[in-house]
Structure 1
Amino acid sequence: MQSATDRTGLAIVLSLLALLLFDCMGLIIKHLSDRYTAAELSAYRNFVGLVPSAVALWSSRVWHANGRVLRMRQWKLACLRGIITTLAQFCFYLALSRLPFATAATIGYADALFMTALAVPILGERVGAARWLAVGVGFAGVVMVMKPGGESFTADAFLPLAAAFCYALSGVLARKMDGDVPSPLINLYSSGTSVIGATVLALSLGGFSDLQGAGDVGWILAMGCFGGCAVLLIVISFRMTEQANLAPFHYFGILIAFVLGWMFFGEAPVDDLMPGAIFIAAGGLMIVWRERQMRRARVTAPRGPHTRV
């Protein structure tokens, strides 16, 4: 039975809207990438995105109930996540400037596969044959999309893969944070660190370019707002229902990215994406399915020795 706070239908709608906003942010990044570097765009995105992050924190009931405390014990770990996110953004934004939009986005969905693999050394989780098989299926899809040895294969194809690894590492580290710390507070620490990290990276790579008119300022503001609001919607949707209920819809982002890339850039890399995109989504969905099975087993099974899953 669903609890009063479990509004799965609305949570799914909000998570899909978040995917759309993330892809709209990516469209703007690709549009601006011929005038500004990936590090510059990362700095702008994080700076503007601090506003939605602050709104998310202010709307957190847990934060208010705990006395609106801004200090946190694991602040170093939260800042480390911000640094890792900076590297992820740099790689992904650079990929958007060099690869077809849908191709970069699709390879980026390997983050769920990396999270499963990284949970073993970092969280000490035991991953059984079913989930390792799912990881293998997903990475087979990544290889199909990248097409090593093919005419379209370049080193740039590793950029979204590196971004996926860094995003996954950031996500796994988030699970090591104290459970009583509000997620928006963790996100605010990480976002603030990302602003500093991206700024330092931009300055070390040649500095910031002059903004080319009010139009670009508007695009940059929209980019930051889209990204920040997408994070806010994800936080809200996760509060409404279990993450396992939302995970299967995560892969609608591949379809959204393909449609938007075709609409705005005239890209339709069907031959590059198929059937690899299907394998990536299948691997991720297999992981979701297995984790839901494990969760049900833990709820219904009697207490006993921990078994390998």
Structure 2
Amino acid sequence: MADFEPRRHGGLTIPTGAESIRGILLILLAYFVITGADASVKWALPQVGVAVSMIARGVVGAIAVLVLTRGRGIRAVNGRLLTMRGLLHCGVSATWYWAWSRGMPLVDSYAIASAAPLLMTIFAIPILGEKVGWRRWTSTLVGFLGVLFMLQPQGDLWRFETPFLMVAVVAMAVTRIWTRVLSATDGPASVAFWLMVAHIPAGLLLLPGFPPPPVMPGAGVLVALLFFGVANAIAHILFARAFGLAPVSALAPYEYSPLLLGGVLGFLIWSEVPAWTTIAGAAVVIVAGLYNLHRERVRRAAERRDGLH
């Protein structure tokens, strides 16, 4: 049976289970791409610094969006919210790059970021009017308990950068919600393009505090920055499309997915070995996320049954 047409409420699409599954698959692909981008910039940061990384992301990413979309659909409709989201996201990006430049392991930063799903689920209720059933609440709360286990004070994850990243996680959760809001007015190309553009002035403003290197980076670093910008463009187009298809509460648990790939890349590139508490907590949050995918499949099956009557 063909997918059902999504309903709309207050300008936002109220998706069917089929739309939610497509959104979940897109966001999983987006997190796969963005994790590779994060690894590339973390590798390049010692030679280029935070500000140059921001500028490279903005310039290369904006050009990549234009090429990928042939310049279609980038006109801003909700310019005010696009600007607010872009500026807030730049703060999140700068905080993460600063933490990585100080030696924060990739997987540890992702472990801290995995506090975002509960915040996204909570924020989506008053801002978007989403309804979250008790099963999804339970799985999200279980995942958050895993996050608390990883983030216990005096544990291996607790270092100077941790509280700054925790504040950035709150801001990141808000930008995810705003991505969903923007899906009612602006397409994925517009959302991704103006986010990339915002990183250019933000990076320029950061130059005095994070000056560029005295020598030109090597070819390998330049290739890494090129990949970093293109991958960000692709990932944020996918993010915008996913949040247009599925409710935030369905997508939030997949903030956990970079933990897996980030752990592998961190080990292969920097020989980073996460603490056992990080591994144990990650196992809990991954199980919680998989359960939410199961609930979306159940929902889709129920809608198909209802459609037969």
Normalised TM-score (structure 2): 0.75
**Superposed CA offset, 1:35-73 (max 9, x none):** 33334312221221112222344376xx4xxxxx7242x
Alpha-carbon distance change, 129 to 246 in structure 1, aligned in 2, over 3 angstroms: closer
For residues 133 and 304 of structure 2, the distance between their equivalents in structure 1, rounded to whole angstroms, comes to: 19
Determine if contact 1:57/1:185 at 8 Å carries over to the other structure: no
Deviation (angstroms), 1:220? 1.6
Tell me the amino acid that sits aligned with residue 53 of structure 1.
Answer: V
Segments of structure 1 that go 5 or more residues without pairing to the other structure are 64-68, 302-309
Tell whether 2:37 aligns with 1:25: yes
Q: Give the superposition deviation at 1:76.
A: 0.8
Query: Where do 1:1-309 residues align within 5 Å?
Result: 1-3=1-3, 17-58=29-70, 63=73, 70-72=75-77, 74-97=78-101, 98-127=103-132, 129-150=134-155, 153-177=158-182, 179-200=184-205, 202-210=206-214, 211-234=216-239, 251-286=256-291
- Taking structure 1 as reference, are residues 7 and 279 closer, same or farther at Cα in structure 2, changes over 3 Å only? closer
Q: Distance in 1 between matches of 2:164 and 2:274?
A: 18
Partner of 2:13: none
The answer to whether the 8 Å contact 1:103/1:272 transfers is no
Moved more, 31-40 or 244-253: 244-253
When residues 127 and 15 of structure 1 are mapped into structure 2, their CA distance, relative to the original with a 3 A threshold, is closer
Aligned pair count reads 291
Structure 2 contact 31–235 (Cα < 8 Å) conserved = yes
Percent of paired sites with the same residue: 25
Classify 1:247/1:43 alpha carbon distance in 2 versus 1 (closer, same or farther; 3 Å): same
When structure 1 is superposed on structure 2, of 40-49 and 155-164 the one drifting more is: 155-164
RMSD: 3.9
SS in 1 for 2:143: helix
CA–CA distance in structure 1, aligned partners of residues 290 and 111 of structure 2: 15
Once the two structures are superposed, what CA deviation does each residue of 1:163-188 show, in whole Å capped at 9, x if it has no partner? 33222211101222362432211222
Is the 8 Å Cα contact of residues 110 and 164 (structure 1) preserved in structure 2? yes
Contact 1:105 1:160 in 2 (8 A): no
1:272 and 1:47 map into 2 onto residues whose CA distance is 39
Report the alpha carbon displacement of residue 23 of structure 1 after superposing the two structures with TM.
2.0
What is the letter of the counterpart of residue 168 of structure 2? A
Asked if 1 retains the 8 angstrom alpha-carbon contact of 2:49 and 2:210, the reply is no
Cα deviation digits, residues 56-115 of structure 1 (max 9, x gap) = 44376xx4xxxxx7242x201111110111011112222333322212123323332221
Cα distance between partner residues in 1 of 2:290 and 2:274: 23
Aligned equivalents of 2:287, 2:4: Cα separation in 1: 32
* Letter of the 2:154 counterpart: G
Gap runs ≥5 in structure 2: 6-17
The one-letter amino acid paired with 1:102 is: V
Give secondary structure in 1 for the equivalent of 2:46.
Answer: coil
CA contact (8 A) 2:92 2:172 kept: yes
Q: In the TM superposition, what is the alpha-carbon distance from 1:274 to its structure 2 partner?
A: 2.4
Closer, same or farther: CA 250–147 of 1 in aligned 2, 3 Å: closer
